[in-house]
Amino acid sequence: AIAAEVAPRVGELDAQTLASTAWVFAKAGHAAPALFDVIAAETAPRVGEFNAQGLANIAWSFAATNTLSSAALMGVFGHDFGRRCDQLAEIYSEDEMSQLHQRWLWYALERGQAAGLPSFDLLQRCRLIFSETSARQSQLQRQVGRTLASLELRPREEVLTDEGYSLDYVVEWRGQQVAIEVDGPSHFLGRKPNGATMLKRRQLRHLGWHLVPIPYWEWNELANAHTKEVAKNRKLDTPGAVIPLPERRSA
């Protein structure tokens, strides 16, 4: 309902407000395809009006929502976009460069596009910054790691992929490499993954990873090592799935 109210007024927004609007919806994991079509049409002729933050925000927002048609995609991310990225190359913050890297993964690898890319030098710098940006390991993540080790899965932690993503743990399960992501409260709005979490999961799966997310509330439900092993078996045997919670033990 909110997206429907915003769409007719998009043309009244300046470039930075336009980018912020897209970012708010994308961050919340709310794709709103009709709204993003309007934002794309408004963005295409105005790429030169965006500052570094606005350009990174709107690029990341389209990547996170992944709703644009091929025609709309090319309209926004043509040669003007690549040139504008390079014009601002010395201004981006580290967060903005990470956003641009995720946009490149989406645009070039997920959507198979090559036109309108910024310079190779900027792409490399963005990838380097993205790969060096890692969150501090949480207590929850350490608990999961200790449990994986106790189950003799020999977890490797903070594994860096070729594309720059850091995986919380990687284990070998029945001859397959499995990535395990431990997702605390900051990854969700309520119990729905936020836009950043959805984007990372989608891109890792596109890159071929068998991904096992462990939401914090599911982990908290696992009362003992036996129950954790049952859950581990269910998760690892289901490609791309979130483990169904084990049955609660009766008191």
What single letter denotes the amino acid at residue 198? M
Per-residue pLDDT of 111-131, as tens digits, reads 999 988 999 999 999 999 999
Under DSSP, is residue 103 helix (H, G, I), strand (E, B) or coil? helix
Question: Looking at residue 13, what is its pLDDT?
Answer: 96
What mean pLDDT is reported for the chain?
A: 90
The separation between CA 103 and the C-alpha centre of its own chain, rounded to angstroms, equals: 10
Alpha carbon distance 43, 75 (integer Å): 9
Per-residue pLDDT of 2-37, as tens digits, reads 898 999 999 999 999 999 999 999 999 998 999 999
Inform me whether the pLDDT recorded for 239 exceeds 60: no
Burial class (CB in 10 A: 0-12, 13-18, 19+), 24: middle
Alpha carbon distance 53, 50 (integer Å): 8
Q: Name 66's Cβ contacts closer than 8 Å, sequence gap at least 6.
A: 31, 106, 110, 202
